[in-house]
């Protein structure tokens, strides 16, 4: 497949859906740089996402997230595969940036799948708000609130936990190739 010229591929979805894991592998196959907006924010501020949430608050984190995304979107010289933070699509003014600089793919998983992927992690600040026993309900509620934003993506890719990473990447590449051929 020809390299996608000057268009970023934005992967979006709930935490634990595979944006970073799939994004790295996809970028490698497409010979494109990979960028994770959470890491860009961490580098910009010199703190982890968890520390930013604790010390500066979620609103400041979201502001920083929008800043790094605006910088990234304005850099059209080299197309990148970009993993967005789970809450990024809910930000005001984010969609024009995304749509004008690339294509968006929502990596869709059920709340139960997501719960299975995130239940043993302690580095996700949005999940720290819930008691362990209420975590599935918290994931369901947050996913329900974010789904209308995720649904604005150019494409929805339904992830199946029965697929291995290679099959998932193969199917994701097929979606991207079809999109590239139709544009």
| Total number of residues shown for the chain | 183
Alpha carbons 142 and 183: distance in angstroms, whole number: 34
Residue 67 has what pLDDT?
A: 94
pLDDT per residue as tens digits for the range 37-56 = 999 999 999 999 889 988 99
Correct CATH for 8-170 of 3.40.50.150, 3.10.450.50, 3.40.50.300, 3.40.1520.20: 3.40.50.300
User: What pLDDT, on a 0 to 100 scale, did the predictor assign at position 63?
Assistant: 93
Where do the structural domains in the chain lie, given as residue ranges?
Answer: 8-170
In degrees, to the nearest 5, what angle opens at C-alpha 23 toward C-alphas 35 and 112? 120
Place of tokens 């990473």: 165
User: What is the structure's pLDDT at 171?
Assistant: 94
Q: Is 35 helix (H, G, I), strand (E, B) or coil?
A: strand
pLDDT of residue 6: 66
End-to-end alpha-carbon separation of the chain, Å? 14
Block means of pLDDT (10 residues each) for the chain, length 183 residues?
A: 69 93 95 95 93 90 94 87 94 93 95 81 55 76 95 94 90 87 60
Its pTM surpasses 0.85 = yes
């Amino acid at each position: 497949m020809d390299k996608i010229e000057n268009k970023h591929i934005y992967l979006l979805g709930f935490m634990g859906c595979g944006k970073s894991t799939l994004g790295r592998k996809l970028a490698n196959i497409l010979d494109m740089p990979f960028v994770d907006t959470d890491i860009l924010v961490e580098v910009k501020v010199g703190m982890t996402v968890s520390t930013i949430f604790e010390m500066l608050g979620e609103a400041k984190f979201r502001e920083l997230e929008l800043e790094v995304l605006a910088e990234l979107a304005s850099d059209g010289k080299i197309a990148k595969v970009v993993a967005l933070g789970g809450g990024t699509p809910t930000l005001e003014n984010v969609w024009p940036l995304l749509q004008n600089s690339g294509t968006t793919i929502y990596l869709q998983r059920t709340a139960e799948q997501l719960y299975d992927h995130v239940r043993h992690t302690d580095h996700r600040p949005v999940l720290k708000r819930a008691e362990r026993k209420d975590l599935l309900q918290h994931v369901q509620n947050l996913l329900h609130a974010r789904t209308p934003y995720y649904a604005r993506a150019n494409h929805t890719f339904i992830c199946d936990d029965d697929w291995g990473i290679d099959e998932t990447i193969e199917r994701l590449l097929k979606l991207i190739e079809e999109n590239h051929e139709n544009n």
